[in-house]
């Protein structure tokens, strides 16, 4: 995008945008923009931006769902571009800094003095050091006079079952709650104003166990994101029938599976009923019993391979070389792939995925590959150079490649 050119656009909706640099270039390109909505803004690049273009931005309404973007990365954008903002709707996750009420207060008083609607939602995970008590103390800071005077009120929802380790903190005055956790018992909601089980604006449904599915009487017709976290066994044959009572499967665009007893066959069945799913994240999966040959010859597998719209695939379980090829065969139009392989399969996997003769994955744009054990670092760099790849070392044994 040429930053010296400008557009008269005033209203803009974008489904997905990758990288903060692209986001800044976009804001420079549309100086007359008043309303902006980005459904998924990814922070893939993570490069600290030193220089911001001098642009008089007129934006008054901004709605963003941030992924892999910290508040340290997002705050400079607020300082440079959001001076006239009146409405900010923002969905975040992971970074604890977003739950710092005092920091938000300073940001708003210093850089968004015209703001009158702050619609905020943050998803978080419990850890050994950050338990429910820890998060409750953070969230309590949002009850100071600064927030009360502006009539900005918040609620906190967390699951009540053992071993369930996440929560959602969200605004309640705007009635725009977009995430909903289904757990075995009644949801624990720190908000006495909720008098209905109907949340028609819910976009993300998080199912945390089988009993939550059995007892659910709500139908989330507008949900486009589904997370399944269950340590119990969910029958493969009836999985789509069960889920279809809760969400409209054909509308789902993002699916996250975090189940110890979830088989690859079950994933295939779900994908068969979710033709518009473009992003799949598999945290844990039963891969040891995959019969690659029989699956590839399976008619259902072939139908999904030919028709699915998967663009972004993440597999966090350790995969063999053959299993990687199976995933690629299942999702041949994937553009962003993140996998974890053994030390022995590392080199062969990269060569296979990036081969010009590999017709199964011709649209691939980025590859994040993690491995175990020690691989001679110089050998890896030589391989990347020979394949003309740009690369970034994310951490020990963690590589991000693009071309």
User: Looking at per-residue confidence, does 161 or 264 come out higher?
Assistant: 264
| Mean of pLDDT over the chain | 80
The predicted model scores a pTM of: 0.61
Q: What is the pLDDT of residues 26-78, one digit of tens each?
A: 888 888 899 999 988 987 665 666 666 666 678 999 999 998 899 999 999 99
Residues contacting 355, CB < 8 A, separation 6+: none
Task: Write down the pLDDT at residue 193.
Answer: 41
Query: Tell me, what's the pLDDT at 108?
Result: 97
- Mean local confidence (pLDDT), 337-353: 86
Predicted local distance difference test score (pLDDT) of residue 71: 94
pLDDT in tens, 178-217: 777 776 544 444 444 443 445 667 888 888 777 667 767 7
Which long-range contacts does 206-210 make (Cβ < 8 Å, 24+ apart)? 206/166, 206/179, 206/180, 206/181, 206/182, 207/182, 207/246, 208/159, 208/161, 208/164, 208/181, 208/182, 208/183, 208/184, 209/161, 209/164, 209/183, 209/184, 210/234
Comparing 31-35, 123-127, 345-349, 387-391, the range with the smallest average pLDDT is: 387-391
Tell me the CATH number of domain 306-403, given options 3.30.110, 3.30.390, 1.20.950, 3.30.70: 3.30.110
């Amino acid at each position: 995008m040429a930053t010296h050119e400008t557009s008269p656009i005033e209203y803009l909706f974008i489904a997905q945008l990758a990288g903060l640099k692209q986001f800044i270039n976009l804001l420079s390109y549309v100086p007359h923009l008043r309303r902006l909505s980005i459904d998924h803004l990814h922070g893939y690049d993570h490069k600290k931006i030193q220089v911001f273009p001098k642009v008089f931005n007129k934006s008054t309404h901004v709605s963003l769902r941030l992924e892999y973007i910290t508040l340290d990365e997002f705050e400079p954008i607020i300082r440079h571009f959001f001076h006239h903002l009146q409405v900010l709707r923002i969905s975040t996750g992971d970074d604890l800094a977003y739950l710092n009420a005092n920091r938000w207060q300073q940001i708003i008083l210093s850089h968004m003095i015209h703001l009158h609607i702050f619609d905020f939602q943050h998803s978080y995970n419990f850890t050994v050091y950050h338990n429910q008590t820890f998060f409750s103390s953070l969230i309590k800071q949002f009850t100071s006079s600064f927030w009360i005077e502006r009539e900005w009120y918040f609620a906190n929802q967390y699951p009540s079952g053992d071993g369930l380790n996440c929560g959602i903190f969200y605004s309640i005055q705007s009635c725009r709650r977009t995430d909903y956790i289904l757990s075995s018992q009644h949801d624990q909601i720190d908000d006495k104003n909720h008098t209905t089980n109907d949340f028609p604006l819910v976009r993300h449904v998080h199912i945390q166990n089988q009993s939550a599915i059995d007892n659910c009487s709500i139908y989330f017709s507008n949900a486009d994101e589904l997370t399944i976290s269950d340590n119990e066994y969910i029958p493969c044959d009836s999985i789509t029938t069960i889920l279809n009572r809760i969400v409209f499967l054909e509308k789902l665009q993002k699916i996250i599976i975090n189940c110890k007893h979830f088989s690859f066959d079950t994933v295939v069945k779900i994908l068969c009923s979710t033709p518009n799913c473009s992003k799949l994240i598999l945290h844990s999966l039963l891969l040891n019993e995959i019969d690659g040959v029989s699956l590839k010859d399976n008619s259902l597998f072939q139908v999904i391979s030919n028709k699915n719209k998967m663009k972004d695939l993440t597999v966090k379980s350790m995969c063999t070389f053959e299993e990687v090829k199976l995933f690629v065969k299942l999702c041949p139009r994937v553009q962003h792939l993140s996998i974890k392989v053994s030390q022995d399969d590392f080199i062969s996997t990269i060569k296979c995925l990036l081969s010009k003769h590999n017709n199964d994955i011709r649209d691939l744009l980025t590859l994040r590959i993690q491995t175990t054990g020690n691989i001679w670092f110089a050998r890896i760099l030589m391989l990347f150079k020979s394949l003309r790849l740009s690369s970034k070392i994310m951490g020990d044994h963690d590589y991000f490649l693009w071309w």
